[in-house]
Structure 1
Amino acid sequence: MLSIRRMKALQKFASVHANIHNHFSLERHLIDRQLNRKRRSAALAEWQILAS
Structure 2
Amino acid sequence: MSRFRRMRSLQKFASVHSSVHNHFNHQRNIDSRARFKLLCDAALLEWRELLAA
User: TM-score, normalised to structure 2's length?
Assistant: 0.52
Quick check: which one's helix share is greater? Answer: 1
Tell me which of the two structures has the higher relative contact order, counting C-alpha pairs closer than 8 angstroms and 6 or more residues apart: 1
RMSD between aligned alpha carbons?
2.1
Q: What percentage of aligned pairs have identical amino acids?
A: 23
Q: Which residue of 2 aligns with 1:44?
A: 44
Equivalent residue letter for 2:50: L
Q: Which runs of 5+ in 2 are unaligned?
A: 1-15
Unaligned runs of 5+ in 1: 1-12
TM-score (norm 1): 0.52
Match of 1:23 in 2: 24
